[in-house]
Amino acid sequence: MAYTQAMVRLADISGLGPIVAPISGRIRRKVLVFVNAKGGVGKSSLAVNVAAGLAKVGKRVLLVEMDPQGNHAEDFGFVRTALRDDGMGQVGAVIAGAGLTPTGEARPGLWVAPGGEALEDLVEELYVQRRASAEDSQSWLYMYAAAIAQVEDDYDLVILDVAPGSLVLQLQAMVAGDMLIVPSRSDESSRKGLRTVVRRFLYARPYNPSLALTGIVLFGVTPRGTRIAEGIREELVKDVGGAAPVFGTTIRYLERPAVECRRRGLVAAELAREEDIDASMASSATQLAKDYRALVLEILTKMATLQQPAVA
């Protein structure tokens, strides 16, 4: 049964003091937020492949799909299993002020809180809360922060994959998160979405001073694009006013393995090991898997750097 708008009632946010107070002084680096204001820039592909890659190297990962589309069920192949709940568990936790409870493990060490249609009513109610909040009282922004804070010690990393078209979900994720990672293509529309994310980051930062705009991932690079990537990098850095670097790793454009991954419910590294694919597909999947593996290592390096205490 899906949630209806009449059923959505957010928990009493007056009790969030114990959650809100520590945010201004926290130095954790475990909640990664993947976001762009434009769709089709590889955000979910990055989130699922990075989550699977982190779990593969021994991290305990919770992947939260803050998106009514619910594509992770297809990405991991659990469309017709008990792992898929269309976002109802996620919505129920946020409404009740409870901790996020995953539906299960999509891969060893990788727990999922799937998205889906149930989030549509939650999004509407969050917009209502936003309009009703006084300028000096923005407690509604901390609903996901509260749900994550109650379970974060169970995981090494929490990854939030956030819907591109939802301002309220993006602000929720930014207030709950530690490291903001923005995928972008090189086209103007994607870069416009990137600039929108920066504006939202600046809005959210006073409510979560520890949030870091960690970097931009150049996604969907063609063979020709690889040769001109440096020029693209410079333009992307200008788009964010120098506030964030571009990751050294780029994710190349390889449509065949990307389509086949979703069809089979596999990440790139898994597809590369399948025995029933042709040599060309295996080669392309292996290349794509190498890109994601390099990005995972780069993210871990950045996390380690950010966790080091500042030198006086």
DSSP SS3 for 280: helix
So what's the pLDDT on residue 245?
Answer: 83
Q: How far is CA 244 from CA 114, 119, 182, 196, in A?
A: 29, 30, 10, 14
Distance CA 191, CA 297 (A): 25
Distance CA 38, CA 163 (A): 9
In sequence order, what are the residues at sequence separation of 6 or more whose Cβ sits closer than 8 angstroms to the Cβ of residue 146?
16, 19, 97
So what's the pLDDT on residue 312?
Answer: 40
Distance CA 119, CA 123 (A): 6
CA 127 to chain CA centroid, nearest Å: 21
| HSE value, Cβ hemisphere, 13 Å, CA-based, for 60 | 8
In sequence order, what are the residues at sequence separation of 6 or more whose Cβ sits closer than 8 angstroms to the Cβ of residue 134?
none
Which of these, 104, 139, 109, lies nearest to 18 by C-alpha position? 139
pLDDT digits (tens, 9 = 90+) for 185-214: 877 787 788 888 888 999 999 999 989 999
Helix 118-132 and helix 88-96, axial crossing angle in degrees, nearest 10 = 30
pLDDT digits (tens, 9 = 90+) for 82-110: 999 999 999 999 989 999 999 999 999 99
Which of these, 239, 209, 192, 218, lies nearest to 298 by C-alpha position? 218
Token couple for 37: 């204001």
pLDDT above 80: residue 16: no
The CATH number of the structural domain formed by 26-305 is 3.40.50.300
Distance CA 285, CA 270 (A): 9
pLDDT above 80: residue 306: no
pLDDT digits (tens, 9 = 90+) for 140-163: 899 999 999 999 999 999 999 999
- With cut-offs at 50, 70 and 90, classify the pLDDT of residue 1: very low
Q: What percent of the chain lies above the pLDDT cut of 70? A: 82
- With cut-offs at 50, 70 and 90, classify the pLDDT of residue 227: low
Locate the domains of the chain by residue range.
26-305
As a whole number, mean pLDDT of residues 56-66 equals: 97
In sequence order, what are the residues at sequence separation of 6 or more whose Cβ sits closer than 8 angstroms to the Cβ of residue 145?
19, 20, 23, 172, 175, 176, 208
Token couple for 249: 């790793």
- With cut-offs at 50, 70 and 90, classify the pLDDT of residue 10: low
